[in-house]
A and B are shown apart, each in its own frame.
Chain A
């Protein structure tokens, strides 16, 4: 079955692609939505434009759509992007990196059902610490490109998701009830390398925006 991937460039959607690939599915295209609303409920925002470089090193076509990011209106834009993926690349199903967000998962389910596509959520209900450890086991190189919860701050930007990071997130979960894999939007990530990439990406430059416990890093890769 040929699949389209709802792809943000972060750890969850990339791990979902990797699982689909390992299970023998054909990757038809990546589908990325760039939201102009930095507080989007639906879409990952920081460094989203660098998905172009990720698609390039994955050798998979990319459909990149922009949305105003107005709640529910952005779903219409997503619907249009998935329909284009179906018609241009002949995808029969869509893969998402949804872990526990019923808001995101149910909306994609509705779009897929309307368009006659299968919907796959291979990370659904996955334990968040297990998810982080799987990234390391599968040799993913992941950095933090956004934070949005106390006590995370600008010092977390650019940090690699490694064993030390996981241990720290587990401690923060116990103390502040933070979702260790950031499923409540506590942090956003970007994948620089993984088994899907022909070569790893490097951060050429970056710019940070934000204040307090709400920061995002816009990166340029090479």
Chain B
């Protein structure tokens, strides 16, 4: 069972940032808002996807202590945009400002959940994270766009794969 973590503070953003992930997975998932997560959810989950949210919604940044469970989590996790930022910040990364909206071409130096070489991705973010050395960077010449935690199946992408890289999400969940 895949746990989809909703980080949106507005109900209407669910349709834009969470439902597309549900539609890709189609089955075997459950959705919880980060503020309502409990231990049994994390036990029940085989994998976790932390979704993104809108440019104007950064309330999750004020609630980072609610993501401390990630430090001890030992199952696969994928952070998308906001989820990418959360993953980095929980492990001591530094938040930096950078606005990117629309299609951008990113180069994957090594294979990352099926992505390799030049890939056109959809960006919608105000921030990125400077990751610590425990993360390996797979894409991003100026700043990290795709990372993996060394020794764990924790992945993070600053872009939104639900727009043009749906197969990357399916690869993560083993479909």
Write the residues of chain A forming the contact surface with B, with a CB cutoff of 8 angstroms.
1, 19-20, 23-25, 93, 95, 102, 106, 109-110, 112-113, 116-127
A residues less than 8 Å from B57 (CB atoms): 118
B residues less than 8 Å from A118 (CB atoms): 10, 54, 56-57
Flag if A1 contacts B10 (CB, 8 Å).
Answer: yes
Flag if A109 contacts B12 (CB, 8 Å).
Answer: no
Most A Cβ at <10 Å: residue of B10, B11, B20, B163: B11
Flag if B55 contacts A123 (CB, 8 Å).
Answer: no
Flag if B56 contacts A113 (CB, 8 Å).
Answer: yes
Flag if A120 contacts B13 (CB, 8 Å).
Answer: yes
Question: For window 66-120 of chain B, which residues contact chain A by CB distance below 8 Å?
Answer: 99, 101-103
Flag if B101 contacts A113 (CB, 8 Å).
Answer: yes
Query: Which of B11, B15, B99, B103 is in CB contact (< 8 Å) with A113?
Result: B99
B residues less than 8 Å from A19 (CB atoms): 12, 15
CA distance A162 to B146 in the complex (A): 43
User: Does any Cβ of A come within 8 Å of B23's Cβ?
Assistant: yes
In the assembled complex, 21 residue pairs joining A and B whose CB atoms fall closer than 8 Å, in A order, are: A19-B12, A19-B15, A23-B11, A23-B12, A102-B103, A106-B102, A113-B101, A117-B56, A118-B54, A119-B55, A120-B12, A120-B13, A120-B15, A120-B54, A121-B15, A121-B16, A122-B16, A125-B16, A125-B19, A125-B20, A127-B23
CA distance A166 to B138 in the complex (A): 43
CA distance A95 to B13 in the complex (A): 10
A residues less than 8 Å from B10 (CB atoms): 1, 93, 118, 120
Which residue of B is nearest A118, CB measured? Answer: B56
A residues less than 8 Å from B55 (CB atoms): 109, 112-113, 119
Flag if B11 contacts A109 (CB, 8 Å).
Answer: no
CA distance A118 to B54 in the complex (A): 8
Nearest-neighbour CB distance to chain B for A39, whole angstroms, equals 22
Nearest-neighbour CB distance to chain A for B24, whole angstroms, equals 9
Interface Cβ pair total, 8 Å cutoff: 67
CA distance A127 to B19 in the complex (A): 11
A residues less than 8 Å from B163 (CB atoms): 102, 125
CA distance A6 to B102 in the complex (A): 19
Encode contact with A along B1-25: 1 for CB under 8 Å, 0 otherwise: 0000000001111011001100100
Nearest-neighbour CB distance to chain B for A144, whole angstroms, equals 25
A residues less than 8 Å from B16 (CB atoms): 120-122, 124-125
CA distance A109 to B101 in the complex (A): 7
Contacts A110-B102, A117-B56 aside, 7 further interface pairs with beta carbons under 8 A come to A102-B103, A102-B122, A102-B163, A113-B56, A124-B20, A125-B19, A125-B23
Which residue of A is nearest B55, CB measured? Answer: A113
Which residue of B is nearest A3, CB measured? Answer: B12
Q: Using known A-B contacts A19-B12, A23-B11, A102-B103, determine if residue A126 contacts B23 with beta carbons closer than 8 Å.
A: yes
Flag if A20 contacts B23 (CB, 8 Å).
Answer: no
CA distance A109 to B99 in the complex (A): 11
User: Does any Cβ of A come within 8 Å of B42's Cβ?
Assistant: no
Which residue of A is nearest B102, CB measured? Answer: A106
Nearest-neighbour CB distance to chain A for B20, whole angstroms, equals 4
Q: Using known A-B contacts A25-B12, A109-B124, determine if residue A119 contacts B23 with beta carbons closer than 8 Å.
A: no
CA distance A106 to B20 in the complex (A): 17
Which residue of A is nearest B126, CB measured? Answer: A113
Query: Which of B11, B23, B102 is in CB contact (< 8 Å) with A24?
Result: B11
